[in-house]
Amino acid sequence: MHVLFVCNGNVCRSVIAERLTRALAVEHALPNLTAESAGTRALVGFPVEPLAAQAIEGLGADASGFKARRLKNEMVDNADLVLTMTQQIRDQVSQLGFGVAARTFTLLEAHRIAHVTGARSIAELHRARNDLSIVGRENITDPVGLSEQAYCEVGDRIAEALVPLLLALAPHEQARLAADERTGLVIEPGAGSPPLASFLAAHRIR
C-alpha cells in the first residue's frame, strides 16, 4: 500500500507522517507499505524544518535526506491512499481526477472511521464515510512559527492517528503471505524497545 501525505509547505506535517510511516513499515516488517509526501504550496527543495526534524527523530524515525516537493497529479495517481492534514487540502486533492475522492481523506477522518467502524480497507473507509456525519473539524494545525512544544504535540497527534490506522490497513496479501510461513501473524515491536515501540506502549496504541 503506497500512501501519499499532503500538507501545504511539505516541510513539517506531511514529512512527519511520511517518515513515521517508513519507520513503521520497517519496525513491523511491512515491506509493501511505502510512503511519500508533497505540498500544495511546497517550499520546493527545502529540507525538513528543524523542529519538525526533532519531532520525527523523537518518534524514532529518520528525518535526513529530505527535500520538499510540490504536489503533482502523477503522485496522486500512484497512491493507493491519500491522507491530508486538513479538510481544505483533502477537497483540493479530491478534484484532481476521477475516483480520487474515494481514496482521499484527512488523516484524522480516516483514523476516526477506522476506529468507529472497524474498517480494514480503503474501500471500507470510503463506504463508511458516506454513512457517518462529520465530527468537528478534522484538521492538524500547521506548527510553523510556533514553539518546540507545539511541534512535539503535532508529531504526537499525527502518530496517535496514523499508527493504528496503518496497522489496520496493512495489505491483506502481505498478511496472508506471512501467515503461510508462520502460524498466525503476530507482529511485535523489535528487540530493545526502540523509540517508536516505546511511543506505542506509552500511548497504548494497538
Residues assigned a catalytic role: 7, 13
**Separation in Å, CA 50 to CA 57, 149, 193, 196:** 11, 13, 26, 20
Beta bridge partners of 6: 38, 84
Exposure letters 56-88 (e unless 16+ CB within 10 A, then b): bebbbbebeebebbebeeebbeebebbbbbbbe
Q: Residue 136 in contact with residue 109, Cβ under 8 Å? A: no
CA 48 to chain centre: 16
Determine the 3-state secondary structure of 19 from DSSP: helix
Q: Residue 90 and residue 31: Cα distance in Å, rounded?
A: 27
Q: Residue 144 in contact with residue 49, Cβ under 8 Å? A: yes
DSSP string, 27-40: HTT-TT-EEEEEET
